[in-house]
Chains A and B, each alone.
Chain A
Amino acid sequence: MSAPLLTIADVAVELPTPRGSLRAVDHVDLSLEAGRTLGIVGESGCGKTMLSRAVLQLLPKRAKLTGRVMFDGQDLAQLAPERLRRLRGRDLAVVFQDPMTSLNPVLTIGTQLMETIQEHLELDAPEARKRSIELLAAVGIPAPDQRLAQYPHQCSGGMRQRIAIAIALSCEPKLLIADEPTTALDVTIQAQILDLLAREQRRRHMAMILITHDLGVVAGRADEVAVMYAGRVVERAPTQALFKRMHMPYTEALLAAIPKLDAAPHTPLPAISGRPPDPTRPLRGCSFAPRCRYAASDCHHAKPALTSAEIPGHLYACFHPIQMTERVGA
């Protein structure tokens, strides 16, 4: 097997706050091969966005990053700002949650698309324009030549996200980071955008990190899933294996808490009691222990390390893993 396209090794991010240092990402290891999709799942504040910012080297100024991010054979933390700037946008692209804030409101769609293309691909204006029209057509925008002259506010949320994707894809990136790309969109538009991402990914043999809070979104779309809680990866596995037999109680509880379409109305939901721990006051033991129904005394005293399960590539961080031998009711 060739070397992975992206390797995140022992990455930690600390942010200074008035209440003390906050460890947003707590020693995470992940890797991703070309053409594959890694889903990162977690609730607000679990560190999933900070982790993606660490990959992009776009952390807040005062944040402290440790560990290594290797992308395509280069250590991103060691790259000169100019080299890094040329890499971002070309080989390393990103789509954010809110397309309104990621597009410049005072520039036309055409200007924003062509700027990226001309900057990175050294095409002249007519060629860049031609390519922009092709890209807009590829992401499903009707009358793309007319759209070029329009401003973001003249487009719907779904259209804006398509445009943001077109800009991200414009230079044929090797890795696309999609950070909650459909959270701001309606459910029928969400399905269209996820299909679009999957189609373009297959066509371009692009790797993708799909960050979401919705286990439903990664189930059908990711090859591998990493579940984050309180800054750590607490379970990681090939998607099929994870949904078949999850070992980390948090993953199980997160899945159980989603209302199911096939459940009868008025079925009480198995809610997770309490809420995530205060990140400025890290716990000595497992971060999920205070909310975990399987927690024993050892869980409160030491942090469980990521441990290999019987299936290759399946890791979990738990002293009392569930479903180790046979499938119990989900």
Chain B
Amino acid sequence: MMQPAVRAEPLLNVDNLVVEYGLGNKTVHAVSGVSLQVARGETLGLVGESGCGKSTLGRAVLQLRRAKSGRVLFDGEDLTAMEGEALRKMRRRVQLIFQDPIASLNPRRRIGDIVSEPLIIAGVKDAAERKRRVHEVLSAVGLDPDLVAGRLPHEFSGGQCQRICIARSLVLNPEFIVCDEPVSALDVSIRAQILNLLEEMKARFGLTLLFIAHDLAVVKAVSDRVAVMYLGRLCEVGPSERLFARPAHPYTALLLQAIPVPDPDIRPAESVANGEPPSPIAPPSGCRFRTRCPRADQQCSAEIPELREVAPGQFAACHHPLA
């Protein structure tokens, strides 16, 4: 199995990233000091529940949301220090796929124009060359270019629109794609098609992926390593198999336990009465998960736990990790 070692020089290196939003006179602590690396050719899954900051982190990587502090190093260059033309050039190498495929396509433009627009912005002047590239990526995602290029988004289903979005993200030959919940708006039977397509495209175009989702089983299906976020902080990161088999952070364990399993012989475990995530406007002191954690004690409210290696490649930010 492919298990790329994290080499000295990861393609993406997020270093102590802090992103905050203003909300009236309050501050939303969306991402609070997250560090993670993605090796070239690797898929890093990023999971967490709504409001945990996973999408903000994805946008901050692309500089669609500027960080308050911290750095985002892509292939050794600091994106947070870049502006204007330099940033635009860099963005050709880093693309984004969104959750709602229908909303992310302009309803008044034809598919061919939508997919070739990145080429126009990138300055590809030769129309024949643009057409060739558009045909290539539309075929790659399983659509017939001659049939779809002249049509409008509303003529396509959600799954087909997501194929079009994937084609658009591939047209500039990027190295890195942030996939933000790419299948959560799709039905089960279509979801599997799109997940398989992403895996195929990754192999064919030599991509590196940051795959953001709330569904742990979906994340595991495509990821080499998985990072778990809770309320703006990273709880745990490690190789997929290891993390799912032996979670070290109580929050990872809680998430795994909550997944409904399609097997009537497995009785759903009675959910622990552990309430809901607190507001990111006033996150708890110390460990942010402590208010819902069965293992929390005084140390957890006093000290912020650092990420520590609990097994080879597996790191958890917990004062009392699970054995």
Binding site for B on A (CB under 8 A): 43-44, 140, 142, 156-159, 186-192, 194-195, 213-217, 219-221, 239-240, 243, 253-255, 257-261, 263-273, 275, 291
Residues A188 and B261 in contact, CB atoms below 8 Å apart = no
Q: What residues of chain B lie closer than 8 Å to A192, measured between beta carbons?
A: 271, 273
Q: Which of B5-13, B81-89, B147-155, B183-191 contacts A (4 or more CB under 8 A)?
A: B183-191
Tell me the nearest residue of chain A to B50, going by C-beta. Answer: A186
Contact with A along B231-274 (1 / 0, CB 8 A): 00000000011001000000000111111111111111011011
Chain B 30-55 residues near chain A, CB threshold 8 A:
49-50
Given the contacts A219-B264, A220-B267, A261-B217, A253 and B189 also touching, CB distance less than 8 Å: yes
Q: What residues of chain B lie closer than 8 Å to A140, measured between beta carbons?
A: 273
Q: Which of B14-22, B169-177, B218-226, B306-314 contacts A (4 or more CB under 8 A)?
A: B218-226
> Quick check: is B282 within 8 A (CB to CB) of the other chain?
no
Binding site for A on B (CB under 8 A): 1-2, 49-50, 157, 159, 187-193, 195-196, 199, 214-218, 220-224, 240-241, 244, 254-268, 270-271, 273-276
How near does chain A come to B211, taking the closest CB pair, in angstroms? Answer: 11
Q: What residues of chain A lie closer than 8 Å to B270, measured between beta carbons?
A: 195
Known A187-B49, A243-B262; further 6 A-B contacts with Cβ < 8 A: A188-B274, A254-B189, A257-B191, A257-B192, A261-B216, A266-B2
Residues B271 and A187 in contact, CB atoms below 8 Å apart = no
16 contacts between A and B (CB under 8 A): A44-B187, A140-B273, A156-B276, A186-B49, A187-B49, A192-B271, A214-B188, A220-B268, A254-B188, A257-B189, A259-B218, A265-B221, A265-B222, A265-B223, A268-B196, A275-B159
Q: What residues of chain B lie closer than 8 Å to A265, measured between beta carbons?
A: 1, 220-224, 240-241
In order of increasing CB-CB distance, the 7 nearest A-B pairs are A216-B260, A271-B192, A186-B49, A269-B192, A272-B189, A259-B221, A257-B192
Q: How far is the CA of A196 from the CA of B264 in the complex (A)?
A: 19
Residues B1 and A213 in contact, CB atoms below 8 Å apart = no
Which listed residue (B241, B260, B261, B264) contacts A264, Cβ 8 A?
B241
Which listed residue (A187, A215, A243, A267) contacts B258, Cβ 8 A?
A187
Q: How far is the CA of A268 from the CA of B197 in the complex (A)?
A: 10
Residues B255 and A188 in contact, CB atoms below 8 Å apart = yes
Q: How far is the CA of A89 from the CA of B154 in the complex (A)?
A: 38
Q: What residues of chain A lie closer than 8 Å to B195, measured between beta carbons?
A: 259, 269, 271
Residues A213 and B223 in contact, CB atoms below 8 Å apart = no
Residues B220 and A259 in contact, CB atoms below 8 Å apart = yes
Which listed residue (B224, B244, B264) contacts A261, Cβ 8 A?
B244
Q: What residues of chain B lie closer than 8 Å to A271, measured between beta carbons?
A: 189, 192-193, 195-196
Residues A195 and B261 in contact, CB atoms below 8 Å apart = no
Q: What residues of chain A lie closer than 8 Å to B261, measured between beta carbons?
A: 216, 219-220, 261
Q: How far is the CA of A55 from the CA of B276 in the complex (A)?
A: 34
